[in-house]
Amino acid sequence: APIFDLNPCSFNPKVAALSADCTIDCIEMLEALGGGIVTIHPGKRTAKRPVTYLDKERFHQYLGRLSEVAGNNVIIALENMPPAVNAHITTAPEMREVLDEYSWLSFTFDYAHAQAAGDPFSFIEQCSDRMVNIHASLGRNGAMHSPLAGTAEGDALKAVLKDIGYTGRVTYEFEDLNFGELSLLDRTEILAEETRWYRG
């Protein structure tokens, strides 16, 4: 679903409404294609200050809009965010609270974001019953969204997923600026290597 230049929690009501409209467009487009998973971000406070009840109210208004198109062949999954002064949903208890309130909502687990928050597997412990997608990558400072193959963090994730019997979707989310100049073949090989590691 739309990110970067849109913010469903913007204090500008037109920006917030447009963000919801664009997310609904994505959901309806995927529905027309036969369904699947749409991952959404919770938005953020427009100012770089801590989230207030007004920002949370805008977030719930956004979910209210999405509830109007939920429940068909598209799964709507909320992603956990990395810690930031103006960020929503950066901890497992916050995610659990939202999932409990919205029965139609699922969970996309961003492992790199959770590593940055300091307690990555708390999300799996508290929210795995609604987890339908994993954004798999490394979350170290200076290497955010890098491959997990050959890392202790990667081995830990594989072990936890094996323990809970997870068989859902895994999405490799890499920041290409971490690699320097890459050809299309280079990029393909990085993804292939990560897939071999994950399946191994």
Alpha-carbon gap, residue 73 to 58, rounded angstroms: 26
CATH label, 13-199, candidates 3.40.50.620, 3.90.950.20, 3.30.2310.20, 3.20.20.150: 3.20.20.150
**Four-CA torsion 166, 196, 116, 176, nearest 10 degrees:** -130
Q: Is the pLDDT of residue 79 over 90?
A: yes
Alpha-carbon gap, residue 157 to 116, rounded angstroms: 14
| Bridge partners, residue 39, by sequence | 77
What is the residue whose two structure tokens read 């230049």? 5
What is the residue whose two structure tokens read 């409404």? 17
Q: Is the pLDDT of residue 111 over 70?
A: yes
Alpha-carbon gap, residue 98 to 130, rounded angstroms: 11
Helix, strand or coil, per DSSP, at residue 169? strand
Closest CA to 137 of 149, 121, 124, 123: 149
pLDDT digits (tens, 9 = 90+) for 26-53: 999 999 999 999 999 999 999 999 999 9
Helix, strand or coil, per DSSP, at residue 49? coil
Predicted pLDDT of residue 102: 98
Helix, strand or coil, per DSSP, at residue 29? helix
Residue 174 has phi, psi (to 5 degrees) of -115, 145
pLDDT digits (tens, 9 = 90+) for 58-78: 999 999 999 999 988 999 999
